[in-house]
Structures are given as structure tokens and as C-alpha cells.
Amino acid sequence: MTTRRELANAVRALAMDAVEAANSGHPGMPMGMADIAEVLWNDHLKFNPTNPKWPNRDRFVLSNGHGSMLQYALLHLTGYDLPMDQLKRFRQLHSKTAGHPEASETPGVETTTGPLGQGLANSVGFALAEKVLAAHFNRPGHAIVDHHTYVFVGDGCLMEGISHEVASLAGTWKLGKLIAVYDDNNISIDGEVEGWFTDDTPKRFEAYGWNVIRGVDGHDSEAVKKAFAAATAQSDKPTLICCKTIIGFGAPHKQGKEESHGAALGKAEVAAARDVLDWRYAPFDIPAEIYAGWDKKKVGAEREQQWNDAFAKYEAAYPELAAEFRRRTAGELPADWASKSQAYVDKMQAEGPDVASRKASQMTLDAFGPLLPELVGGSADLAGSNLTMWKGSKNITGPDGNYVHYGVREFGMTAIASGLALHGGLLPYDGTFLVFSDYARNAVRMSCLIPSHVVHVYTHDSIGLGEDGPTHQPIEHLGSLRLIPNNRVWRPCDAVESAVSWKVAIERKGAPSCLIFSRQTLKHQQRTAQQVADITRGAYVLSDPADTKFKAILIATGSEVELAMEAARTLAQQNVPVRVVSMPCTEEFDAQPLEYREAILPSWCRARVAVEAASVDFWGKYVGLDGAVVGMTTFGASAPAPALFENFAFTVAHVVDSVKRVIG
């Protein structure tokens, strides 16, 4: 009969062999956590390898994602569509076994991990999503949403500050179905962590309100099994299981040392480890009895079928709820979404309110929120300034909650929002000041890389926020966010563009958007129906001379569109006809066909001026060497907004002079 240790050793062998073949990777953690993983995946984790997206599966996250071969080995052995050929091509171009787990590439990987601590943060989002959806859908005798989230974390994850932010929230929210396993192996890349990580981790998590199981021998399967049983037996608190392990377990000369952490063991050490582990098989050779001990295709299908049968009874008792659950887990928008959301956009164009775009955003939420029960918002302690709460917002701690008070935790908030989105059934948005996107930026980047369908709301978008001064006035942030691949950054100029930006962000399935809103009031712009439709294309002609060919093009975003329009009127009075292009989303414009881009910014017109209260450096690709940018080259200052715009030359006179200079 195959023993637990033999099953775990298959994981160790695959980790050694794959890293050796690639001559790159981290064999130590998979070898150290193999016994823990064997107990979890064989005795506790609920999943179906033949349907990785089964809604009621348990979620497994490898926050210490450098040990990716642990997860790849588990996926392969248990029956996911990850053949041995992919393990042999570990870390190679176009393989499904990247250096760190990628949700978009590998079946069974729930989220992309690697930047330490963010997998833990995503896991908090998964667990919160389970709790929210259970409150929304479960009924007495019908627990259709009932699963756990398991996350493996290492010393590095717990050193990162994001672990504090999200662990504190998990305890506050009493996420009893979140179970974290701490791989306490005392080693990081630089060596033994005693010189830089001496926290009392169990006390730390107890202070957060977690259930902590201390002193578990990570190589004693029965002890690990008891710990998991104790963790799942209670539901009032998240659980941290503290497991002492030996990194590189089985490698006689390198186990317990940093040499096994981030590099191939070497042929001699791999051979010696095979002797120590009594693993007498060739590289990548897994005997049939080992596969049989791991295979979860049959039991996984049976578990899913049991849930399907339970869901059928739920559907018979609550047909409308069941239909809503199917829609939301499929990621589909309501049938009336397109018509009703467009009707609101048209209403805004007809009514033409002059409001700050942050207020226009809240107005849009008031209109769109009732259409989207899956919408879950939140803000990092700035709800009253971000205006991210709408009329139907209710605290997430309630039975029908849909709003999260994250506290001052921008990084944790953003990564948790990705977890909410990746879980399925929810459409999250988060919010803070644009300048504090710096705190969240790596999680924003990850939301684009994973990708996850999150709407990142950033307000107080320029020096226009005024008296708070340069510490709070974003300068380089728009350009920084625009540089992230797969991102969409919208900076609308009025209530109409604000509504469109929300509409497009909601419809952008599977990928994030950043919506950038002003503190100050913005003037409504008149448009034709075609101009309203063209907002979705990222840029459009807002104004052209009536009876003559334009001599220059003004390109503007956000609050500076109004300035560009005023400058165009002044120039017209001086017989200098110009076109005004509103460009709320540069990435969306860049994705348009060449014919459309040429129609908006014709190549024959090289006299171009971009106007944006942000760093000038971004705009070179649109204005070229012959153009000019009216923007920021320094930090801001503390003063009322009108004085600041005057001081930094965001004036009609300066824009007019800039146009005349580029015309020559």
C-alpha cells in the first residue's frame, strides 16, 4: 500500500527534476511543504480536476509562489489538464508552468502569485466573497455556497506589510472559512531569518483575532491532519496553522539551508536526495500506484455531482435566486443592462449637469447600482471624499452587505478586490485618492497581469484638489498607471464621460480599469449622439471649426477639456481655427483601427498641443517633436485650486500662446 510519505515524495521528486531541467527555480519550499500539501489535497481540499471552475470548489492559493513546482506537481498528479510534458518544460517559453503560478495560463491556478503577501491578500478576498455570496444566496436547508479558502504562506509573505493589512481585516470580518498554513522553515534567500524576522507570529495573528494552531510538525502527516480538522471545525475566526518544516527536505547536504531555496540542487544532490527519500525512479517517472494514490478525477466528479443535485433542489425551491446565481457565476451582465445603462448616459447628456466628476461617479453608481446586485464597493477610509458609497450601499458585515470599509489599507484593499473578482459572482470596485495609488500600485499591476475584473476608483486627480498641497496632488500618477499593460485609465471631463467610463469598465470582462475623477466642478460639454457614442473609443472630436480647416489640434483630458474649449473659442476669435479632441482613455484610443485614429489625429496636422494637469512626459507620442504640452514639470503647492491653476499656467492665455508657437 502506498504511504503518505511516498505520495509526498512524488511531489518532491517532480520539484527537484523540473528545477534541475530548467536549471532555474525554487526546489526547497516544495520539498519542505510536500507532506502538508499531501494531507490537504488528499483529505480536505474539495475540487474537481475535470472542471476547475466548479463554483463550490475550495480555493487553494500559493502565496509563496516562488515554490510554484509544488502547485504544478499537485495539479498534475491529481488529474488537472497539466500533462507531464508541461512539467518538463518548467519555466520555458509558452509553457503552462511559468516561474510563478499564473491564473491565465494554468488550469487549477486560482490567482497569479509571486509578489509575496499578495496571494494571502487575494485569499482574504476569496474568503470574503464566499461569505458575501453565502449571505446573498443560501437559504435554510440549502447551503449552495459553502467552501473554504486555503493559502500557503512563507516567512517572506509575513514580512511584507500587506500581510498585516489583510490579516487584520480577515480577523475583523471573522472569515472562519479562511485557513492559512505558515511554512515556518527559518530560511529566506539571504539565509537564516533570525537576523531580520524575529516576530512572534502566533501572537501577532492572535492579536488580529485569528484562531492560531501552534507548533505543528509539518513532516508529521497525522499532526497536520489534526490541525486541518481543528481549523475546519470552527467558523468564527480565520485560522493560521504554524508548521515547522525543513526547507529542501530530503536533500542531505542542502536541506535546512538557503542553498536549497532559490536554485537547482545540482545533479549530485538530486541523486543523493533520491537515496535519502528512497525514490528509485528516473526523472519525471511516476509509477502507476503513485498516480492512483493521487488521482482525484472520480471523487472530484462525485463531489460536484452531489452539489449539482443539491443545487437542483435549491433551484426548484428558489428559481429566481438560482437563475441569478447562474448568471453571476457565469460573469454575465443582466439582460437589461445595455439598454438601461445607455439610457442613463443619454439622460446625462440631455440634462447636462455641471458637477465634479467624483460626484458624477456617485450619480452613476446610484443609477447602475440597482441594476447590478453583484456590485461590491469599498474605499480606503475615504468614502466621503471618494463618493464611492451610493444610495444602496450597505456595510459588508450585514446579511445583504455590498460595501467594504477597508480602513487606511490601500495595498491590501486593492489585492483583496482582485480576490473578490477572481472568486466569481461579484464585481468589485475600490477607491482612494489618485496620489495614494502609489501605495496600491503593485496590486493594480497584478490585477492587470492576472487579470481580474476590478474597477479602481481614484479621485482628487490633480493640483485641483487644492490646499492639501503637493503631498496629496498627483503629478506622475496618470502616466504611471497608463504604462501598465492591459490597464484602461479613464479621466472623464464631465458627467457624461464619467457615466461612459463606468459603463465601459463594467463591460470590460476579465480585466481592470482605473477611473480618475476630480474634486472640483467640471462644466458639461455639448455633444451629438455620434460624439456620445465615440466616447467609448477613448478619444473623439469634441469641437471643430464650423466653416474652415483647422490649423492645430488641442488634446485634453478631464478638467482640462474645458480649458481647451475656452482656448479654442479665443483662438477662433483671432482667426486661428483649431480642433479639440477629448481623450478620456488613451489606451482605448490606441486600440482603435488606424483609420479611426487617423480621422481623429490626422497625420497632416503636426501642430498639436496636449493639455493635462499631470506630467508632461507622457504626451510626446501624440504631439510629436513639433507639438507642445501644457502640463506639470514639478510638484504642486498648497493653495486654493484657482490660484494653483493660474500659478502653473493652466490658463487660456498660455494654451493660446502654445498653439500659436506650434503653428509657427
Taking only the tens place, the pLDDT of each residue in 526-542 is 999 999 999 999 999 99
Q: Is 405 flagged in the annotation as binding?
A: no
Q: Is 115 flagged in the annotation as binding?
A: yes
Q: Region 110-122: what's the mean pLDDT?
A: 98
The mean-pLDDT minimum among 394-408, 413-427, 462-476 falls in 394-408
Taking only the tens place, the pLDDT of each residue in 387-407 is 999 999 999 988 889 999 999
Q: Is 156 flagged in the annotation as binding?
A: yes
Confirm if 218 and 36 have CB atoms less than 8 A apart: yes
Taking only the tens place, the pLDDT of each residue in 25-83 is 999 999 999 999 999 999 999 999 999 999 999 999 999 999 999 999 999 999 999 99
Confirm if 512 and 456 have CB atoms less than 8 A apart: yes
Q: Is 185 flagged in the annotation as binding?
A: yes
Tell me the backbone φ, ψ of residue 521, rounded to 5 degrees: -65, 140
Q: Region 264-286: what's the mean pLDDT?
A: 98
Q: What is the pLDDT of residue 270?
A: 98
3-state SS of 570-623 is: HHHHCCCCEEEEECCCHHHHHCCCHHHHHHHCCCCCCCEEEEEEEEHHHHHHHH
Q: Region 91-102: what's the mean pLDDT?
A: 98
Burial of 637 (0-12, 13-18, 19+ CB in 10 A): middle
Buried b / exposed e along 348-363 (16+ C-beta atoms within 10 A): bbeeeeebbbbbbbbb
Tell me the backbone φ, ψ of residue 31, rounded to 5 degrees: -70, -35
Q: What is the pLDDT of residue 206?
A: 98
Taking only the tens place, the pLDDT of each residue in 578-592 is 999 999 999 999 999
CATH match for 537-663 among 3.10.310.30, 3.30.390.50, 3.40.50.920, 3.30.300.30: 3.40.50.920
Q: Cα 364–369–371 angle (5° rounding)?
A: 110
All three cell numbers of 385:
471624499
Q: Is 66 flagged in the annotation as binding?
A: yes
Q: What is the pLDDT of residue 398?
A: 81
All three cell numbers of 496:
457624461
Q: Is 100 flagged in the annotation as binding?
A: no
Q: What is the pLDDT of residue 102?
A: 98
Confirm if 274 and 7 have CB atoms less than 8 A apart: no
Burial of 509 (0-12, 13-18, 19+ CB in 10 A): exposed
Say how far apart CA 210 and CA 231 lie, in whole Å. Answer: 11
Q: What is the pLDDT of residue 235?
A: 87
Q: Is 385 flagged in the annotation as binding?
A: yes
Task: Give the CATH number of domain 4-48+59-123+149-292.
Answer: 3.40.50.970
Task: Give the CATH number of domain 336-522.
Answer: 3.40.50.970
Q: Is 452 flagged in the annotation as binding?
A: no
Q: What is the pLDDT of residue 144?
A: 98
Q: What is the pLDDT of residue 547?
A: 85
Let me know if 320 is a catalytic residue: no
Q: Is 328 flagged in the annotation as binding?
A: no
Domain map of the chain by residue range? 4-48+59-123+149-292, 336-522, 537-663
Cis peptide upstream of residue 399 (ω within 30 degrees of 0): no
Say yes or no: do domains 4-48+59-123+149-292 and 537-663 share a fold. Answer: yes
Q: Is 76 flagged in the annotation as binding?
A: no
Task: Give the whole-number percent of the chain exceeding pLDDT 90.
Answer: 98
Taking only the tens place, the pLDDT of each residue in 306-365 is 999 999 999 999 999 999 999 999 999 999 999 999 999 999 999 999 999 999 999 999
Q: What is the pLDDT of residue 155?
A: 97
pLDDT greater than 90 at residue 119: yes
Q: Is 460 flagged in the annotation as binding?
A: yes
Q: Which entry of 269, 374, 410, 612 is annotated as an active-site residue?
A: 410
User: Which element (helix H / strand E) includes 154?
Assistant: strand 149-154
Q: Is 358 flagged in the annotation as binding?
A: yes
Q: What is the pLDDT of residue 135?
A: 97
Q: How many angstroms from the chain centroid is the CA of residue 543?
A: 37
Taking only the tens place, the pLDDT of each residue in 166-181 is 999 999 999 999 999 9
